Amino acid sequence: MGLNSLTYPLQYEDLRLKTDSELTLDIDRIDEPVNHEIGFAGIIGKSSGLRQVLQMVETVAVGNSTVLLLGETGTGKELIARAIHNYSPRGARPFVKLNCAAIPTGLLESELFGHERGSFTGAIAQKIGRLELAHQGSLFLDEIGDIPLELQPKLLRVLQEREFERLGNTRTQKVDVRIVAATHRDLEGMILEKQFRSDLYYRVNVFPIRVPPLRERPEDIPLLVEHFVQEATRRMHKTIDTIPSETVDALIQYRWPGNIRELENVIERAVILSPGPVLRLSHRDLKSRVMPGQGIDRNQTLEEVERNHILATLKETRWVLSGPNGAASRLGLNRSTLYFRMKKLGIVRSVDSIVKV
């Protein structure tokens, strides 16, 4: 199936900016889906970088090769993984995902391979692992760089031999599963630091795809903004049909360290705060976020900049880490990743920062 045959018909003729006195991105057809430009469900954009990624997706989807998605947090790697599955011969079979960074190390093996009743304290019943659930389908291992060293040989065996055992069971089980992995970490650097096995890396890195960050896809931002406005207004039963051109310009110029996830959060907040049909986005909201070359003491180290940015976000959210309005969501991070960064940077909530409700 060719890429052109997957393209949705255009919902909007163009996205031309109007004069400064006018407003742009009129959302007159708020009940219709936003223009995806490219016909992979859920993936929005028209940039050359995204097109290259989806051409690679189309190429690799038809086979069974292991795919490694590389890119920053919040760039949409899960959507790319799902597209690989959907456009493969396994598309009608299960698509199972496992975030290796979100599960405590002691439970990750059980989540992946499953366990038998009584195999360890607390194992009161048999559990089918994600690997087994994905039989004849695809298993998406997000943040594969966070898999502990002691578990990596077992995953390597799955990739090489297509077999495994549940915890507490000696019977070997065969599994037919395609692995799609993703990471924002430098796996080659981790190999040098002896944090990631080289043999596992070469098995995973069969077909690497780099997913570009949002700052490299500025032409996709208007489409994404329109989509997120539509989604937010539907959920909140609000009407917003116009986005000012200066707002679009500000969003394009911002560097988006949290990528698409951060953009979605910013738009949701703007929809909540907009009293009428025009999207109102405070420029202070963007300026308060760390932007390269703006509002940064050049004598600070990168670690100090990161620490100050995380601290500022924690104060804004009253030290709420999880949830749609929590610090992790605003920063475009998983809660476990944020907790790890806080621990590494020595960020501890002081007694006087606790707000009584």
- Which class is 9-26+214-289 in CATH? mainly alpha
Q: Decide if 98 contacts 141 (C-beta within 8 A).
A: yes
User: What CATH class is the domain 295-357?
Assistant: mainly alpha
User: CATH 3.40.50.300: does it fit domain 48-210?
Assistant: yes
Domain boundaries defined on the chain: 9-26+214-289, 48-210, 295-357
Taking the chain, what is the end-to-end CA distance rounded to the nearest angstrom?
Answer: 57
User: What is the pTM for the complete model shown?
Assistant: 0.72
CA 241 from centroid of its chain's CA atoms: 28
Residue 153: per-residue pLDDT: 96
Closest CA to 46 of 37, 56, 58, 55: 37
Confidence at residue 333, expressed as pLDDT on a 0 to 100 scale: 79
Number of C-alpha atoms within 13 angstroms, CB side, residue 314? 19
Looking at residue 340, its pLDDT comes to 80
Report residue 107 as tokens: 């439970």
Q: Is the dihedral of CA 46, 52, 55, 61 positive or negative?
A: negative
- Spatial neighbors of 173 by CB under 8 A, at least 6 apart, are 132, 163, 164, 165, 166
Predicted confidence pLDDT, tens digits, the chain (357 residues): 333 323 322 232 333 333 333 334 444 333 333 334 445 767 999 999 999 999 999 999 999 999 999 999 999 999 999 999 999 999 999 999 999 988 887 789 999 998 888 677 777 788 889 999 999 999 999 999 999 999 999 999 999 999 998 888 888 999 999 999 999 999 999 999 899 999 999 999 999 999 999 999 999 999 999 999 999 999 999 999 999 998 999 899 888 988 999 999 999 999 998 889 999 886 666 766 544 444 445 455 667 777 888 888 888 888 888 877 788 878 877 787 888 888 888 888 764 444 433
For residue 349, the model assigns a pLDDT of 76
